[in-house]
Structure 1
C-alpha cells in the first residue's frame, strides 16, 4: 500500500500558484451564482423572460457559471486534503473536517442555506477515513468512474435530443423560502430546514473530490511543467464538455431556443451532469496559466518547478487574486454577508434584477480581492482561516 504521508518532493519554500489562483478567481463565479440565487430567491437565479443584454448574461451564466463553479472547489478540496495530510497526518485532518461541519452549520443558520462547508466536512471525513491511504492502483478507479459518467452524460444528451419538442416553456426558478422570507428570524427557521436537504443532495460530489485527490498524489499543480499534456487535454476536454452540455439549456435561458417543458427539463439534466466537467477543466486551465506566469517571471518569480511562485514573483493581478485564494474561506463567508444585506426583503431588497445581481457580484469580489491583498501585505491570514486553525489545532493539542 502506497501511503500519501510522504515528505513532498522538491522545494517546500513556496506555495504552488495554481491552487490559490484557481480559488481566488473562481470566487468571482461563486459570487455570480449566489448573488443571482439571492436576487431571484430561487435557483438557478435567472430571469425567465430576458431582454437585451439580459440574454447575454443568461447565456454566459448558464454556459460558464451555473453548476460549473462549485466543482472547481470540490477538485481543489480533494487536492488540499492530500497536501494537509502530508504535513499534519490524518488525525489533525479529521479534526479539521469536523470543524468544517460546525462552520457549515453556523453559516447556514445565520446566512445562507446553500452552504457547502458542511458537505465538505462530511466528504472530508469520508475521504480521510477511506481514501487517502489507499494505493495508486486503487485511486485509478476514480478515472473509470468519470468514464462511466461521461457515457451517462452522452446517453442523457441523446435522449434529450431524440425527445425534443418545440414549445413556449421558459426557465423557472425553483423557490428557496429562506431567501424570500419577510424577516431575519423567519429566514433562519427556513434555512435550518433547507440546509440538511441541500447538504444531502450535494454529498455525491465526493467523486469530484476524489479526482482532486488523484491529481494531488501526482503533484499535477505543484509541478505543472511535468504535466502540460495532461493539463491541456483536461482543459480542452473538460471545458468543452461543460460548454457543449450547457448549450441547449443556455439557448433556452437566453430566449433564443423555444421548447416545451419536458424538453427544457431534459436539457437541465444534461446541463447539471456536464457541469461537473467544468471542475477539472477550469483547474487545468489555471494550472497552465500558473505555469506560463512562472515561465514569464523567470528566476525572480520562480523557485523550483515552474508554477511554484514565491512572494517576490506574486505581483500584479494574479498575485492579488492568489491572495484571495489563500483566504478563500473568508472570502466565501464575506460574500454571504453581503448578499443577505443587499438582497433580503427585510434589508435593502434589491433583488429581481439581473444587472444588479451581476454588478453586486463583481463589486463584492473586487472588494474581497483588495482586502486579501492588504492582509497578504501585512502577513495576515484571513479571519475565518485563523479561527479554523485555532479550533483545529487547539483541539489537536
Structure 2
C-alpha cells in the first residue's frame, strides 16, 4: 500500500513541542477532565455506601450526568488519538524511506514499554489502567498501520460490534454490578490492594482492549488525512462528527444513566442491551468531543492564551497527568490514606475529580514554563527510541530529536 508522506517531515521525524498541532493536545488535555470525573465517581460508588449531603436526588442526577456525558465517552477519544499518533509515527518513518519491518519493530517496542508502564500502574496505583491496553494494541494490531482503508475499517467495525457486545454482557453480570464485589478493589491494606489489582488486570485489560480497537482504527484512518493536524481542511467532517455524534451519545447514554441511578428498573437481557447501546453511542460521543475541540482549535488559530497553553501542555503530558490522577485517587480515597470516598456524595466525588484534574493542569503548565517534558513521556521515548544492542545511529538520532 502506498501512503502519501506527511508534509513538513524532518529527517529525524521528530516534532518539537513548539511545533505540535494544537487540536490533538487540546483534546487530550480537556478530555482528561472527563477521565478524572469518571474515576472519582467509580471510587465513590465502590466505597461510598449511603448517600451523603446534598441528598439522594442530587446523587441520582450526578449519576445520570456522568453516565450520559462522561462514562464510556473519554476512553474512545483517547484510543482514537493513540491510533492517530501511532499512525503519524508510521507515516513519518515511511516518508523517510525506512522499511516496514523496521517501523513495525519500532511500534512494537513502543507497545512493550506501554505494557510495562501499564502493569506497574495497575499494581502500584489503579485497577482500571488503560496504558497497557494501548501497548497490547500496538503489539497485536501494528499491522493495521500498513493496510488499506477498507481492510482497516472492516477490522475496526468488527471489533466495534462484537467487542462491545461481549463487554456489555460481562459488565452486567452480577459479579461486576454488585457493589460488594467491587468494594474489594479497595481494602484496608496496601499490600492486599496490590494483590487484588494484579489479579484484576487479566480480566479488566482484555475487556478494555475489546472496546478500544475500533476507535484505534478510526484514529489511524483520520491520521492518514491529517484531520487533527489540519482541522481547517476538514470542517465538514468535524462539524458532522461534533453536532451529530454528541447528541447521539447523549440519547444513547441516557437510558443506561437512568438505570444506573436506580430510576429505571432493568435486568437480564434488557440491562445488557442498554449497556451495549451506551457503549456503541459512546464512540460517537468520544469522536464528537474530539471534533468539537478541533473546531475550537480552528477558531483559536494562532491565539494562545494562558488557559489554552495550560490545557495543551496537559495534553502534551497526558500520560504523566493520567498517572498523577491515579496518585490522587490513592491519596484521597484509599482507606489507609485520607479515605474520603465514604464521606463524599456522588456530586462531591465529581467535584473532587475536577479538582484533581485542575491540579494536574497546573503541574503540566509549570513543566511547560520550565521546558520540561513529562517524566512518563520521557521514559516511553527513551524505551522506544534507545539504540538496540546491535546498534543503530538513526534510531539514536530519532530519540534525541524527539521523534
TM alignment of 1:1-397, pairs within 5 A: 1-3=1-3, 6-8=5-7, 14-41=19-46, 51-88=56-93, 89-128=103-142, 130-141=143-154, 149=161, 173=179, 175-204=181-210, 205-254=212-261, 257-262=263-268, 263-294=270-301, 301=302, 313-352=303-342, 353=344, 354-396=346-388, 397=396
Is the CA contact 1:343–1:351 (under 8 Å) kept in the aligned structure 2? yes
Q: Deviations over 1:57-92 (max 9, x none)?
A: 112101111111111101111101112223454332
Alpha carbons of structure 1 residues 217 and 371: separation in structure 2 relative to 1, 3 Å: same
Alpha carbons of structure 1 residues 140 and 210: separation in structure 2 relative to 1, 3 Å: closer
Counterpart residue number, 1:159: none
Alpha carbons of structure 1 residues 265 and 86: separation in structure 2 relative to 1, 3 Å: closer
Tell me how large the CA RMSD over aligned residues is.
2.8
Alpha carbons of structure 1 residues 292 and 196: separation in structure 2 relative to 1, 3 Å: same
Q: Deviations over 1:202-257 (max 9, x none)?
A: 212211100000000011111111111111111122222211111112233445x4
| In 2, Cα distance between equivalents of 1:275 and 1:104 | 23
- The two structures have a TM-score, normalised by structure 2, of 0.81
Is the CA contact 1:177–1:187 (under 8 Å) kept in the aligned structure 2? no
Is the CA contact 1:95–1:395 (under 8 Å) kept in the aligned structure 2? no
| In 2, Cα distance between equivalents of 1:19 and 1:340 | 28
Is the CA contact 2:79–2:216 (under 8 Å) kept in the aligned structure 1? yes
CA apart distance, 1:18: 0.7
Unmatched tracts of structure 1, length 5 or more: 157-170, 295-300, 302-312
Alpha carbons of structure 1 residues 194 and 172: separation in structure 2 relative to 1, 3 Å: closer
Alpha carbons of structure 1 residues 234 and 109: separation in structure 2 relative to 1, 3 Å: same
Is the CA contact 1:178–1:186 (under 8 Å) kept in the aligned structure 2? no
Is the CA contact 2:112–2:139 (under 8 Å) kept in the aligned structure 1? yes
| In 2, Cα distance between equivalents of 1:216 and 1:47 | 46
| In 2, Cα distance between equivalents of 1:251 and 1:21 | 31
Is the CA contact 1:327–1:372 (under 8 Å) kept in the aligned structure 2? yes
Alpha carbons of structure 1 residues 143 and 96: separation in structure 2 relative to 1, 3 Å: closer
CA apart distance, 1:356: 3.3
| In 1, Cα distance between equivalents of 2:50 and 2:27 | 28
| In 2, Cα distance between equivalents of 1:194 and 1:143 | 26
| In 2, Cα distance between equivalents of 1:79 and 1:174 | 39
Please give the secondary structure, in 2, of the residue aligned with 1:222: coil
| In 1, Cα distance between equivalents of 2:120 and 2:244 | 38
Q: Deviations over 1:89-146 (max 9, x none)?
A: 4332221111000001100111111101111001012232x11112344335368659
Aligned residues: 357
CA apart distance, 1:318: 1.8
Alpha carbons of structure 1 residues 197 and 253: separation in structure 2 relative to 1, 3 Å: closer
